[in-house]
Amino acid sequence: MRYYDIGFNLSDPMFQGIYHGKKYHNSDIINILQRAKDKQVKVTLLTGSSIVESKQVIDLKNSLKDISPIKLYYTIGVHPCCVNEFVENLDVETNNGSSTIDNPSNDENYNYKLYESLNTDRSFASKKLIELYDLMSENLKDPDLRAIGEIGLDYDRFHYSCKELQLTFFEEQLKLACLLPNETIPLFLHMRNCCNDFITILKKFIEGFNDTEDKFNLGRIIKSDKPIHYKLHPKKKFVVHSFTDSPKDLQNLLDLSENCYIGMNGASFRLKENIESVKIVPLNRLLLETDAPWCEIRRTHEASNFLKDYVPLPYKSVKRDKLSKVPQEEWNNYMIKSRNEPCTMEQVAAVVANIKDIPLTDVVSQVWETSCDVYGA
């Protein structure tokens, strides 16, 4: 058994023992990685969700590289819920400027005002896009950078960022991906309740187009004042991760390109409709993930009906305020309640195997092969 967790948000404060801004225990990252190894996780892809968090995962990867029992790769990109990062704050009291996935503005009017501000001044956004491009290009020589992402659209979370900003900076980040010297580096994509717009934008980049506006002066990157032709390389693979939309949306994605793959985790199995999506996704187009610390499989999910004879994880569960009371030499044996980890990959694979009614070994073997083909072993 070999597992490749393509979605692990290691920069989340929970893994430093911080929950909703309050410190409950010391970092237990090494224990988490050891549990992952014990449950046959060989590789994880650390998710970059903003410029800030992309830098954090690079630092975490570097600090853990020589001591981690599993391979740590990473992505660089700005999640749709973090695209406010591209616009200068209008009200410091409303948004403290921290560009992280755990810090929504919770103010949809403010989010839209950020978009409107681009009509008068795009200089800040242009500067941030160049900063992001530089971060991507500077790390292309690092063999542990495996994807551009997490980028995309999320129409369930406008309290993080408005639709218009998401659309704008999904396109702009795809442009950056096209301008990188490594044209085939894969994409790590986010799509939530937005399939039509998501496919429209991706199709535009798959077919290719001339950008006659260059709103954010990306021509500076290639030192050109002529319209830039953007087109994804024909061999560029992309994964729509944490898929939770309808079976019809799934089929539309698969039909879009043979380079499109689907990532699934515990959130992908919550509803009966989700189970139908699992049934139809081809095994050779499927990758698996935990999206830890999110997306655990819960008893209330449809997935619980497909765990069947699954043997529970051999770890005790404690509340976040109780771990500090456990002797640290025993921390390998304790998970935090409701905080997901890569060691639960076998649960995700077991659900898929039981839904598809095929041997678990077949699922694990094929998904490992596909994951290595897309993101590299």
Q: How many CA atoms lie within 13 A of 216 on its CB side?
A: 22
Residue 163: closest CA among 137, 133, 130, 201: 201
Q: Where are the domains of the chain?
A: 3-314+341-375
**Residue 96: its pLDDT value, please?**
45
**Residue 102: its pLDDT value, please?**
77
Per-residue burial over 64-100, b if 16 or more Cβ lie within 10 Å, else e, is beeebebbbbbbbbbbbbbbbbbbebeeeeebeeebb
Cβ(288)–Cβ(349) under 8 Å? Answer: yes
CATH superfamily of 3-314+341-375: Metal-dependent hydrolases (3.20.20.140)
> Tens digits of per-residue pLDDT, 310-334?
888 999 999 999 999 999 999 999 9
From first CA to last CA, the distance across the chain in angstroms is: 15
The 3-state DSSP class for residue 295 equals coil
E strand or H helix that includes residue 44:
strand 41-46
List helix spans (H) across 208-359.
247-256, 272-280, 345-356
Residue 51: closest CA among 157, 124, 108, 143: 124
> Tens digits of per-residue pLDDT, 21-56?
999 999 999 999 999 999 999 999 999 999 999 999
Q: Which two tokens stand for residue 41?
A: 């996780």
**Residue 99: its pLDDT value, please?**
64
Residue 175 has phi, psi (to 5 degrees) of: -65, -45
Question: What is the chain's length?
Answer: 377
CA atoms of 137 and 149, how far apart (whole Å): 14
Q: Which two tokens stand for residue 210?
A: 């001339």
DSSP 3-state helix, strand, coil percentages of the chain (rounded to 5)? Answer: 45, 15, 40
**Residue 98: its pLDDT value, please?**
53
State the Cα torsion 25-27-31-35 to the nearest 10°.
90
**Residue 95: its pLDDT value, please?**
47
Cβ(46)–Cβ(8) under 8 Å? Answer: yes
**Residue 312: its pLDDT value, please?**
86
Cβ(80)–Cβ(151) under 8 Å? Answer: yes
Q: How many CA atoms lie within 13 A of 256 on its CB side?
A: 29
Q: Which two tokens stand for residue 186?
A: 């894969």
**Residue 311: its pLDDT value, please?**
85
Cβ(302)–Cβ(271) under 8 Å? Answer: yes
Cβ(292)–Cβ(340) under 8 Å? Answer: yes
For residue 188, what are the β-bridge partners? 149, 239
The 3-state DSSP class for residue 335 equals strand
Report residues of the chain scoring pLDDT below 50: 94-97
